[in-house]
Amino acid sequence: MVTRAVMDKALLEATAAALVASGKGILAADESNGTMTKRLEGAGIESSEEARRAYRANLFATPGCESAVSGVILYDETIRQNMDDGTSIPDYLNSRGMLPGIKVDTGTIDFDGCPGEKVTKGIEAEPENGWADLGTRCAEYFEMGARFAKWRAVIQIEGREKPSNACMSANAEALARYAAICQENGLVPIIEPEVLMEGSHNYLECFVATMTMFQKTFEECKVQGVHLAGTLLKPNMIIGGNGYRGAEQTRDDVAASTVICLTHFVPHDVGGIVFLSGGQSDEEATDHLNRMNSMSGVYSEHPWELSYSYGRALQAAALKAWAEEGAEASQAAFAHRAKMNSLARSGDWDISLE
């Protein structure tokens, strides 16, 4: 007899596999209202609920983008909005073969006792901000059509004091609790422990912090009973801080060290890898992914699809074109970046295509 638990696990695994299908990746369009306001205003556009909706609806309607986009992470405001013809955004995405996802963390707060470090919140209810507890929100989002979710932890490297063991442990525990709650409500959790590029650290320091976060997070996932085959990991790449002034790290170094870190410190039954692009240019993010998917020998002996869950690296050119040239130019810019990253999924991208 097939139990409900077995069926649920199978559905989670199928969703995770669909999100990392060959040639495809995830569009992260989950900027908070504050962040999206800054980006629109930076492009010379006055931000409003309608301005945010119009920009994103145009992006989602890009002809053919479903060939490169398996899913779209939405913000709470966006999942409740409609396309220009009145179709709900989740229904529209599903009709195009792109799974709707949802950002469920509610931001970061200072971590007590560790100045300058942050922990992510969103599990408990926040009545003062209008947020229900995570389980309630996940159930609602599932009913609205979402099939996966995202929670981001931020880890800062600074000297010998940061990141602290306490801060990493607190964020790892929160990531695991979030993942378990999502799965209880039918959502595939994207686990995102981001080691930030801000700082003067070298790439070996990034490697150690990233490795440690992987170990702590998956230890906590085991405690929480998270079904790893029904999860995706959204990691940073192993890159030195943007203020580092030492020996140059080549793009091959980035690709090799990232794959080594994943292979040795991430459980092999995780459903897939969807990189974040944080701090990289559009072309850098594409090139690094391409190099990882082009590797042979020991570097290719990993079990996962190496894909993307990019925000600015897919949208920056599209937003600029939206402000300067209009809807069609914005779609063309997005379609190009999506195609470039789709090619990088199989190691077939080349700079000449840019």
Distance CA 39, CA 170 (A): 30
Burial 193-220 (b: 16+ CB within 10 A, else e): bbbbbebebbbebbbbbbbbbbebbbeb
CB 69 within 8 A of CB 26: yes
Distance CA 249, CA 164 (A): 25
- Which ranges of the chain does DSSP label H, i.e. alpha helix? 4-19, 33-42, 49-60, 76-79, 89-95, 134-143, 165-184, 203-224, 251-265, 282-294, 312-324, 327-344
Rg (CA), the chain: 19
CB 20 within 8 A of CB 69: no
CB 174 within 8 A of CB 119: yes
**What is the DSSP pairing of strand 118-120 with strand 148-155?**
unpaired
Number of CB atoms found within 10 A of residue 84's CB: 11
Reduce the DSSP state of residue 163 to 3 states and report it: coil
User: Nearest-CA neighbor of 307 among 232, 228, 213, 218?
Assistant: 232
243: tokens are: 């203020």
For 184, the enclosing helix (H) or strand (E) is helix 165-184
The reply to whether 192 belongs to the active site is: yes
Burial 340-350 (b: 16+ CB within 10 A, else e): bbbbbbebebe
Catalytic residue among 192, 194, 205, 220: 192
**Which neighbouring-strand residues pair with 274?**
307
The reply to whether 234 belongs to the active site is: yes
Catalytic residue among 24, 103, 234, 305: 234
Catalytic residues: 192, 234
